[in-house]
Amino acid sequence: MLLKLLNQVEKPKFIVISDSLDVTGTTLFQSFVTTRCKKTVVHVFLFETHPKDFLTSLKSTNHENIIIYDFYTDPLNWDDGENTISKSFVFSKTIENHACHTDQFIVAIDGVGMYLNNHPANQLYQDLQRLKQNPQLEQCILLIHSDEINQGVKKSIEHLSNAVLNLRHPRNNVMVCKTIFKKPNGKMLQFYEEIKIASDFQVSAMKWSLPNHNEPCEPIPPPSDEPSVVSDLSFNLKLSNDEKKQRGKLVMPYTQAKLAVKMEEKTSGEIIYELDDVDDYDEEDPDDDLDF
Amino acid sequence: MKRTTFTKKSGKGASGVVIPGTHPSLHNGLLLVSTGIPSLDVVLGGGLPVGSIMMVEEDLFGRFSKIILKYYLAEGVMCNHSLFVASFEDKNEEILTQLPKPVTKDILTGSKTDDMKIAFRYRDLSTATNSLDAPPKYGHYYDISRTMDKIDYEHCGITTLNLNKLIRSTLNKLNTIASDIQHTAPKSIVAKTKLNIIRAAIPGLGSPLWCENTEDNVSSIARFLHALRALARNSLMTCVVTVPTHLYTPHQVNVIRHMVDCSIELESFSKEKTNPVFSQFHGLIRLKKLPCLNSLVPFIPQSLDLGFELKKTKFQIKCLHLPPDMSDGAAESDGKTQKSPCDSNTLHRKLDF
């Protein structure tokens, strides 16, 4: 799943990478930027690394498509720096001010801790929403540090996102990424993958199974062809196809009775008796020879 | 033939005014409106009372609460009510294009084509054993795998509001709609007044886009709901809001719950952590507050343990039940689940004699 996100097979609008002190997400963040900058313009907001370091670590990739906003050198405007987190700083406006874009672009944000120190979280959410609604924005990638920000804020940011990548570190040299991907129809998919990032930012991912977690219930083996009760009998309980057809043709006794009832109703209750062979029916009335 | 002096009351009620899409409650004197989901109507005692606000506490990713909202709006379209949707999404019209398509009853009963040969006396009886499955008297059936065409909802009066500008405008806009003569609850019933219901839907109230989850903001949400409730009571309006309560502390959620009339909490299951007992369900529904508008005691449904299931074509609320215990071969499986023979999936398998 992670590879699908990297290769843009799946394109969620808003990806959040959440890391911690144990496991750093900067390499994954950089690999996202490298894959994206091959095709589209990427606006990178750097709060935690110097632009030069960032660009050198990206080494061989094409730097033409990367536009960097440096908020590392002088964020609070102590030295009359260019980019500062002033009260009116807003991600979306900064991008709008930057001319020369008619195409799609991608926004990558290095970290929100510095922003949240100077602005209420409310402003961040609304700003991200405004970014999302910009029709030219293809994707927004946000790196957050889970131990730096308030849990409530982290939950809210994850609520706003379309895909969340949680990085964990169960053992040495093992980086596991838990991807929660929200499909546009609302369904939520969850994946656990062990990832390795090479020095040229190629990512390889393998499925990782949680060791201590109880295995989800195995699919029930399909019931054997015959239920065990019937298999050992000396007589046959099954019907062949012909027998089934004949069973279908059989007329039920009550249906005959129904017809008979219908017939009787028509003839108003008379009893019709037809003489058998054995019956001896005398037409004469035996009371005829009585003389009173 | 003896003629009696009994004359049947005309179906229109004492005053002769009928509001389309509403029906009187069987338990108290309220006017009810269908939520669009027949099983949810049964749980609420017939439907949602006019003038009340229902809060759906969203599940973790908001998937099922969105579906409930869509059913609610679709029912409004079918009953020709006025709709009002206010959200932060840019294109509110999108939610209108995703409304489930209504399905006529013929299509449903058509599946029962087998003429029963032996149990012929049961042929004409309904198959519903559980009251939650019974066909709706006042609602409609919907198929969520298909969406409503534009022709179907064009005739409805639909107002959408994009909240990116100002949240206060929601109440103002609703007020203007509610003061329209057809929506005001009349002080005296005059026949021939055309009355209609407003169905207001506010998805994502209290989400990070509205405000941060701090104490101050919770009290402002409470104030908003209070004003909304006043508006709803004074006009013919029902309101459904969905709130992501998992972002708030329990105390804050209680404050918000006090301000609404009815609250149901959705908890969805994730694939791995499902208790095998709940294998049929997609999540649980907890009734946190039941509507109790004109009475001391609300209508309490037969069972408070409810779960929901999202099938391909419909969303249904069912009573929680344990699957029947299959003692045959249970010893070998070491407590892992057995599929019950009455499960809808295994019904098609062989139970041949």
DSSP string of A165-230?
Answer: EEEE-SSTT-EEEEEEEE-TTS-EEEEEEEEEE-TT--EEEEE---SSSPPPPPPPPPPPSS-HHH
A160 — contact with chain B (CB < 8 Å)? yes
Indicate the length of chain A as a whole number: 292
The percentage of chain A sitting over the pLDDT mark of 90, rounded to a whole number, equals 4
pLDDT averaged over consecutive 10-residue blocks of chain B (353 residues)?
A: 58 60 84 89 90 91 88 88 79 74 60 62 60 64 73 70 64 72 61 77 84 80 88 88 91 92 89 72 90 86 87 85 61 44 57 57
Quick check: helix, strand or coil at residue A289?
A: coil
Q: Where are the domains of chain B?
A: 18-103+131-323
Exposure b/e, B195-217, CB count within 10 A at least 16 = b: bbbbbbbbbbbbbbbbbbbeeeb
Specify the pLDDT at position B52: 92
Tell which wins on pLDDT, B223 or A59: B223
Quick check: helix, strand or coil at residue B102?
A: strand
| pLDDT of residue A21 exceeding 70 | yes
Burial of B191 (0-12, 13-18, 19+ CB in 10 A): exposed
B90 — contact with chain A (CB < 8 Å)? yes
CATH of B18-103+131-323, one of 3.90.960.10, 3.40.50.1370, 3.40.50.300, 3.40.190.10: 3.40.50.300
Chain B: nearest CA to A142, how far in angstroms? 16
CATH of A2-207, one of 3.20.20.140, 3.90.550.10, 3.20.19.10, 3.40.50.300: 3.40.50.300
Helices (H), chain B: 38-43, 63-78, 93-97, 105-109, 150-154, 168-178, 215-234, 250-259
Specify the pLDDT at position B243: 92
ipTM comes to 0.71
Chain A: nearest CA to B88, how far in angstroms? 9
Do A125 and B208 count as a contact with CB atoms less than 8 A apart?
Answer: yes
Sign of CA dihedral A172, A180, A65, A130: negative
Most confident of A11-20, A87-96, A169-178: A11-20
CB contacts, 8 Å: B279 with chain A = 217
CA A252 to the chain's CA centroid: 53
Residue A217 is nearest to which of B270, B328, B337, comparing CB atoms?
B337
Specify the pLDDT at position B265: 94
Quick check: helix, strand or coil at residue A106?
A: strand
Quick check: helix, strand or coil at residue B241?
A: strand
Quick check: helix, strand or coil at residue B8?
A: coil
CA distance A19 to A27: 11
Specify the pLDDT at position B337: 44
Specify the pLDDT at position B348: 57
CB contacts, 8 Å: A217 with chain B = 276, 279, 336-337
Mean pLDDT value of segment A108-129: 86
Q: At residue A50, what is the residue type?
A: H
The end-to-end CA distance of chain B, in Å, is 56
Here the tokens at position A55 are 């660009």
Indicate the length of chain B as a whole number: 353
**Per-residue DSSP letter, B302:** S
Mean pLDDT value of segment A60-72: 78
Specify the pLDDT at position A183: 84
B286 phi/psi in degrees, rounded to 5: -115, 130
Do B212 and A122 count as a contact with CB atoms less than 8 A apart?
Answer: yes
Report the chain A residue with the minimal C-alpha distance to residue B246. A155
Specify the pLDDT at position B57: 93
**Which residues between 309 and 338 in chain B have a beta carbon less than 8 angstroms from any beta carbon of chain A?**
328, 336-338
**Per-residue DSSP letter, B289:** E
- Which range has the worst mean pLDDT, A100-109, A243-252, B141-150? B141-150
pLDDT digits (tens, 9 = 90+) for A175-229: 888 888 888 777 888 888 888 888 777 788 888 776 654 444 444 455 555 455 6
Specify the pLDDT at position B336: 41
- Identify which of B261, B242, B286 has the alpha carbon closest to the alpha carbon of residue B63: B242
Sign of CA dihedral B81, B82, B88, B93: positive
Q: Where are the domains of chain A?
A: 2-207
Residue A152 is nearest to which of B60, B67, B213, comparing CB atoms?
B213
Query: What's the mean per-residue pLDDT of chain A?
Result: 79
